[in-house]
Amino acid sequence: MWNKVSLLFWFALGTIFGSFANVLIYRPIAGLKLTEPRFSVCPHCRRRIAWYDNIPIISFILLRGKCRHCGGKISLRYPLVELSFGLSFLVNHLLFPTDIALAMDAIFVASVPALFTDFKLMLLPDYTWITVLISSFLINLFHFKALILLDALGALISLGILFVLKLRYKDGIGEGDLFLLPVYAFAVGITFMPFLLLGSSLGGIVYSLLRKDRLIPFGPFIIFFGYLLLFLRVFLYV
């Protein structure tokens, strides 16, 4: 019984962080500061959203996806992001020890908003790579300590490869990628680092072919394959 209550708690907490992530997604794309306005507002009528209309997932259902004041449609992205966070937190705490689960939660919280901002603005916030670096260092220190130097070597190799590509394709590789790829390479470890390079590269190539655009948001593919491979690494070896 207690285990079920605990998992319900982590799911609920995940949806709350998902609601926070929606702020990190919406405001930069809308050209707003993260700290202003201090409260949530409707993107259509700009009226303040009451707390009871801001409950993750539940408020969206009760309001039928519309603003209480102006009737403007609320993007389906909001409850989907909240649901994905709830499920992520639930799975992490169901499968992993608490320390790893919390580190995975932190990485997820910092990474998902970057997926959206890089696709929309070609912008990777600094808090993403910093959070991934700190969280993955703690995971490696306590669970993969014997491999930590090799993992650091894998991160340096990935940085070197990306730096050479940066020199060759100046506009094709952003500065944010130079930080993000090495820290995710360190997180997944030297064993999975080649798969990270391959997966993110193929993802970027496919995206460029579909969009027919020289400028590729490389960050989302690093994040997607990086988190997936980190999850796989921890699941298999911890």
Mean of the per-residue pLDDT values of the chain: 90
pLDDT reported for residue 110: 96
Question: Total structural domains in the chain?
Answer: 2
Share of the chain above pLDDT 70, in %: 96
| Mean local confidence (pLDDT), 42-47 | 84
Residue among 99, 69, 68, 105 nearest 85 (CA): 105
Confidence of residue 36 (pLDDT cuts 50, 70, 90): confident
pLDDT reported for residue 213: 67
Query: Residue 176 pLDDT more than 60?
Result: yes
Q: Give the torsion sign (CA, 68, 70, 73, 75).
A: negative
Could you report the per-residue pLDDT of 68-103, keeping only the tens digit for each? 889 889 899 999 999 999 999 999 999 999 999 999
Query: Residue 134 pLDDT more than 90?
Result: yes
pLDDT reported for residue 130: 97
Whether 5 and 85 map to the same domain: the answer is yes
Q: Mark which of 45, 76, 95 sits at the end of a domain.
A: 95
Whether 52 and 111 map to the same domain: the answer is no
- Angle (CA) 24 90 229, round 5°: 75
Whether 121 and 31 map to the same domain: the answer is no
> Which residue is it, tokens 């009871």?
52
Confidence of residue 223 (pLDDT cuts 50, 70, 90): very high
| pTM for this model (two decimals) | 0.92
Query: Residue 2 pLDDT more than 60?
Result: no
Cβ 89 vs Cβ 13: under 8 Å: yes
Crossing angle of helices 175-211 and 219-237, rounded to 10°: 110
Whether 15 and 48 map to the same domain: the answer is yes
Domain span holding position 60:
1-95
